[in-house]
Amino acid sequence: MRLLVARDPDVDPSVIAHFTTDPHPCVRKAMARCPRLPGDRLTALLDDAELAADAANPSLDWESVIRALQNRDPAEANV
């Protein structure tokens, strides 16, 4: 049922952000893909090796992506 939160157009974005820390990976990934995920949480997910690819959703602005890449540890580049 938690997966449906990302599809609910009336759910508060803070609820979506909350579920990005759910114990189940499929729930975290669904929330990371949700375009209504707050920008600050979305940007934070770029540093999460498990969710970074899923965090590349349409609401992510390019400045955040560039900033995250510039701040990334080169040792983690192949992760």
Question: What is the domain partition of the chain in residue ranges?
Answer: 2-76
Give the pLDDT of residue 75: 61
pLDDT, one tens digit per residue, over 30-46 is 998 888 888 888 878 77
Helix ranges, the chain (H)? 13-18, 25-33, 39-45, 62-71
Q: Is the pTM of the predicted complex or chain greater than 0.75?
A: no
Residue ranges for the chain with pLDDT beneath 70:
54-58, 60, 62, 64-65, 68-69, 71-79
